[in-house]
A and B are shown apart, each in its own frame.
Chain A
């Protein structure tokens, strides 16, 4: 699961620095911006067959790779 989420983040952002530090703030590090965040949720929706509307992705809940993995796990198990 974790690897699959990380692969999606890497595919969308074109960067892999976050793999070294899962708690790195992706927005501050310039790995994600608003555009990237949407591309990410659309890709994650397809990859995991879940629904992730934009207002569920508050920046505070979605700013690190580790938090994104947690959120997807929650969603998949819903």
Chain B
């Protein structure tokens, strides 16, 4: 069963979480029960008929533990710090993801080592290796790391938590937490999630996206593509924000304040604002571990002097990688490149406005215009992301019509 994919998933979930709520209300963490609970729900997704992916998940975990503990020993116990060992550790950590992403291109079958959520787990492991290197992590406790990786509420699609934050939650006693408040937030998130994913997302999918997409592939004219653009963009939001709400809600009830993924993205006033509100745990990860590192590297090595050029190059680095992470297809890369261009243009515009203060009017009306423009720029990016252009190119109207 894919986590939160159908309302049925919630029946065992609610039953199994009740004892934990009672324990938490009494100030107890019940780590043993949490372990059994986690194992049972991992089994629901990766066990039984999916046991192949379960074994892949287990092997993946062992691999990452070996790399992280190995690097911890090298960096912290031996107090050594060479760049090549760091890079090798990062590459080794990425090997499983590369294999899984590239295998379908080579043997035209999904990889045996693949499992749901592999790319999200890779983010977590890379986060730990980078912070060990930086000296921000003084120790990686084995059980903390394993639970951080295998924490079932977020295993399939995030939100992408950070190790230091998660380990603090694991260590902190419930005496210091306002658990009643967390419980309330958790249930609120779950109810919003139900509304988003199983009502709004579902209705958009059935009554708009599905018929519109069929129409647009048959007759790819602008009006039909616009209908797909709006319905797909909104579906993407309600479906994924709904999922994220479930993941956050269940985590809160379990006593973990994992980061949220969405903060009203459609009221963004520009594209930078949008990336601070849309799939935040992913965009912050890329900001902190790709963009900022690239900038740091370029500035330190004095490769390029002009800071706007540095920033723009790093935007392309970030967004092309984000596109490739979604999948190695031309339209995901185009989606990344498109967002990189939007970021560069937005930065240039902000710089221009700073220089020419007073020339650009401000106020509520301007805000509304900015929000509408940003919304459309973003919606168009989702249309690229949807892959519909790929479909239209591969199956032009002349090929499709006779078969329909």
Contact = CB atoms under 8 A, between A and B. Distances in A.
B130 interface: yes
A35 B135 contact: no
Interface string A28-44: 00000111011101100
B292 A53 contact: no
Nearest to A53: B134
Interface string B277-316: 0000000000110011101100110000001001100100
A49 interface: no
A39 B299 CA distance: 7
A34 B295 contact: yes
A53 B135 contact: yes
A9 to B, nearest CB: 15
Interface-central residue, A33, A35, A42, A51, by most chain B CB under 10 Å: A35
- Interface bin, chain A: 10 to 19
Interface residues of B, number: 20
Contact of B287 (A34, A39, A41, A56): A34
Contacts of A38: 292, 295-296, 299
B131 interface: yes
For the complex, would chain B's binding face be called helix, strand, loop or mixed by DSSP majority?
helix
A42 B288 contact: no
Contacts of B310: 35
B206 interface: no
A66 to B, nearest CB: 22
A33 B292 CA distance: 10
Given A42-B299, A55-B130, A55-B131, A37 B292 contact: yes
Contacts of B288: 54-55
A34 B284 CA distance: 10
B296 A56 contact: no
A25 to B, nearest CB: 14
B293 A54 contact: yes
B299 A34 contact: no
B136 interface: yes
Interface string B120-150: 0000000000110111100000000000000
Contacts of A39: 295, 299, 307
Contacts of B136: 53, 55-56
A53 B80 CA distance: 16
Interface of A: 33-35, 37-39, 41-42, 51, 53-56
Given A39-B307, A53-B133, A55-B136, 6 more contacts: A35-B295, A38-B299, A55-B131, A55-B134, A55-B288, A56-B136
8 contacts: A34-B291, A34-B292, A38-B296, A39-B307, A42-B296, A42-B300, A54-B134, A55-B134
